[in-house]
Each structure stands twice: as C-alpha cells, then as structure tokens.
C-alpha cells in the first residue's frame, strides 16, 4: 500500500487526503501544515501523524509526496522530494518562473523520479470522455477548440499580488486543457483583458475578464474566455470542432430535474463551487497517480506539461500587456 506524506492541509489538501484515505490502495502516513490545528484536525480525520515538512520528506516509510502548499514553496519541495527518491504529485503551478520550472525538472530528470502536476480538469469525467472521443477520431481532425471558464466571484484584489495574475492563476488550467484537447503545442498567443468586475483588481495590475486566441504550427486554433464573475454559478464549458463534426461538454447542475410549465422550461442552477464541480476530477487525479506509481506507469500531466502551460500563461500575460501577439518557443 502506497504511503503518502501530504504537505498542506488547506482546501485542496483536505480533498486529496480524504480521497487517499478512502481509496483502499494508499494511506496518508503524515501531514504538515503551517497552521498546526489544520494539520492536527485533518490528521485525526484520515488517521495520519503530524510532522514537519522536512521530516516527511526524509521519512523512510513515505513513498509519495503530495504538495498542496502555496505556490512559492512548490519547486523547492518537488526537488527535495525527488532528491529523497519520492514520487511527487504537486498542485499547479510548479513555479511562476519558467526558468525555475526548468531547473526543477532537471533535478527530477536526473533523479529519474515521478512527477505529476495537478491539472485536475483533465480528469473530469466529461472532459476526459470528450478527449477520448477526439483521439478515437469521432469528429475527424480537430480544427478549433473553445473553452469557457467563469468563476462565481472574484478573489480579493490583494490576492493578485501573489497569484501571478489571471493568466497564470486561473487561465493556466484552460491553457493546459487546450493542449490536452488539441494534441499539439501552440506557437502563438494573442490576449485581451479588462478589469470589468472589480476595478481594484485593475489597480493591482491585473484583469478579471480575459480572452485568448492561440494557434499551433499546423493551424489549429483554440479560443479561451475567462471571467471572475458568473452570477449563475461556476461556468465550465468546452466545444471542439473537427472536420467530421463537433463535441461539446456542458455544465453540471445540482440535479438533472427539468421543469416544464406555461412559463417555459427550467433547470436547477449549476454547481457553484470548484471543489463541488471538480470533486470527481480531484478523486480521479489522485487515483490515477496512485495507479501509476504502484504499477510503474507514466504519468500525465507531467512536469513538461506544467512547463508548457506556464510558457503559454507568460505569453498571454505579455500579449495582454503589450497589445501584440507573442510567439512561444
């Protein structure tokens, strides 16, 4: 049975810890968090011990490290875990710096250890099914992918100072998803952005409403739109157009009940919070990692996928700031 050390007992750390504890294939051995009570409460819930980050990484009875700490710690903790011979599952991003990610991946490659990056949307059952049908050729050759992502509410303006901005924080999930769906790397990025939801976000040098166009060397196009506001719930939709047809994945509602009256047809609201909307995706992500490490399978999304997504996020940020398309190496 795979034994995990979890770094971080916040919202995502809790979701992952509960999945591991319920899996029957792995267990949470140790937990660390900067807030002692958060670590103690979660450890008691999943049957783990509280320890320091350093002790968890050095522990002989830990096979894998799950990193759910703030972004500035990710690269350092990945390297420490890799140097200790542990498999690592790290929440996105590895770092807000491409150069730092490249240095980190060199350590992982040198040690020949496993590193998986937590782009959970790849593991959403509907999105994964859509991607599988693309690979099966259901719609022929992919020509265009459209991704819509809208949060119910914006984060505090102060959050922008450490998040890296909407392209690196929010849209990076969609940038990875676009690569996943299209199956090719993008070579040019064009971005637009505005602060229409909260002017304070604009004052901090970021935007809360954004759109990106990207193109691959073969000409395939992806269009992504993001908003930090959706009055009707957590809006997550995909459409992929190909030479033989179209695939679409829509929102998930609170129930599948539909009401028809003289006033028309009505459905329940869509799920409103990301841990609810992507609850199954988070579970599938961790279970995939457990299976890969236990059975020696390759992992995806890999560290390389994390690097490519960060390059696209940087290019989008630069394009928005300069008003010009940006080429991606």
Strand 209-216 and strand 186-194: the pairing is: antiparallel
Distance in Å from the first CA to the final CA of the chain: 41
- With a cut of 90, say whether residue 165 has pLDDT above it: yes
Percent of the chain with pLDDT over 90: 97
Do the domains 122-281+308-327 and 2-113 match in fold?
A: no
**The domain 2-113: what is its CATH number?**
3.40.50.720
Q: d(Cα 211, Cα 151) in Å, to the nearest integer? A: 14
Q: What is the pTM of this model?
A: 0.95
Q: What is the mean pLDDT of the chain?
A: 97
Query: Which among 96, 87, 77, 95 is positioned nearest to 116, based on CA atoms?
Result: 87
Q: What is the pLDDT of residues 11-53, one digit of tens each?
A: 999 999 999 999 999 999 999 999 999 999 999 999 999 999 9
The CA distance from 222 to 240, in Å, is 9
**Sign of the dihedral defined by the CA atoms of residues 131, 154, 192, 322, in that order:** negative
Residue 75 pLDDT exceeds 90: yes
Q: Which two tokens stand for residue 288?
A: 């995939």
pLDDT in tens, 80-101: 999 999 999 999 999 999 999 9
Show me where the domains of the chain are located: 2-113, 122-281+308-327
Q: Using the predicted structure, report yes or no on whether residue 162 has a pLDDT greater than 90.
A: no
Q: What class, spelled out in words, does domain 122-281+308-327 have in CATH?
A: alpha beta
Helices within 50-92 (DSSP H only) = 53-58, 74-83
What pLDDT does residue 217 have?
A: 98
pLDDT by residue (tens digit) across 170-207? 999 999 999 999 999 999 999 999 999 999 999 999 99
Phi/psi for 328 (5° steps) reads: -115, 125
Question: What band does 329 get if pLDDT is binned at 50, 70 and 90?
Answer: confident
Task: Output the CA torsion 73→78→80→85 (10° steps).
Answer: 160
DSSP bridge pairs for 191: 212
Q: Give the model's confidence band at 10: pLDDT under 50 very low, under 70 low, under 90 confident, else very high.
A: very high
Q: How many CB atoms lie within 10 A of CB 29?
A: 24
pLDDT one-digit tens code per residue, 228-249:
999 999 999 999 999 999 999 9
In this prediction, residue 315 has a pLDDT band, given cuts at 50, 70 and 90, of very high
Backbone angles phi, psi at 4, to 5 degrees: -105, 145
Question: Is the peptide bond preceding residue 11 cis, with omega within 30 degrees of 0?
Answer: no
Query: How crowded is the C-beta side of 16, counted as CA atoms within 13 Å?
Result: 28
How far lies 322's CA from each of 133, 216, 314, in Å? 38, 21, 12
Predicted confidence at residue 167, as pLDDT, reads 98
Instruction: Report the pLDDT value the prediction gives residue 65, as an integer from 0 to 100.
Output: 98
pLDDT, mean of residues 2-10: 97
Residue 297: φ, ψ to 5°? -95, 155
pLDDT at 160: 85
Inter-residue contact 198 to 208 (CB < 8 Å): yes
């Amino acid at each position: 049975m795979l034994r995990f050390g979890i770094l971080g007992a916040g919202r995502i750390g809790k979701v992952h810890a509960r999945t591991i504890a319920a899996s029957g294939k792995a267990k949470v051995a140790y937990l660390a968090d900067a807030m002692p009570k958060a670590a103690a409460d979660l450890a008691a819930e999943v049957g783990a011990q509280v320890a320091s980050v350093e002790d968890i990484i050095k522990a002989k009875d830990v096979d894998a490290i799950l990193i759910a700490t703030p972004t500035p710690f990710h690269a350092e903790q990945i390297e420490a875990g890799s140097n200790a011979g542990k498999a690592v599952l790290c929440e996105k991003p590895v770092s807000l710096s491409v150069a730092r990610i490249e240095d980190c991946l060199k350590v992982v490659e040198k040690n020949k250890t496993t590193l998986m990056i937590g782009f959970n949307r790849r593991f959403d059952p509907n999105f994964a099914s859509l991607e599988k049908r693309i690979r099966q050729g259901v719609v022929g050759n992919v020509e265009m992918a459209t991704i819509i992502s809208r949060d119910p509410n914006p984060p505090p303006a102060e959050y922008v100072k450490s998040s890296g901005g909407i392209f690196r924080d929010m849209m990076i999930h969609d940038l990875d998803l676009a690569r996943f769906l299209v199956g090719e790397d993008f070579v040019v990025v064009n971005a637009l952005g505005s602060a229409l939801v909260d002017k304070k976000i604009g004052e901090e040098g970021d935007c809360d409403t954004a759109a990106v166009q990207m193109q691959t060397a073969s000409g395939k196009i992806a269009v992504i739109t993001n908003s930090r506001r959706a009055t009707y719930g957590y809006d997550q939709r995909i459409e992929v157009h190909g030479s033989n047809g179209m695939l679409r994945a829509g929102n998930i509602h609170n129930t599948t009940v539909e009401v028809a009256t003289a006033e028309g047809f009505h459905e329940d609201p869509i799920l409103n919070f990301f841990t609810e909307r992507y609850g199954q995706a988070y579970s599938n992500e961790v279970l995939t990692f457990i299976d890969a490490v236990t059975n020696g399978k390759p992992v995806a999304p890999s560290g390389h996928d994390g690097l490519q997504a960060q390059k696209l996020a940087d290019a989008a940020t630069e394009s928005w700031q300069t008003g010009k398309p940006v080429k991606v190496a």
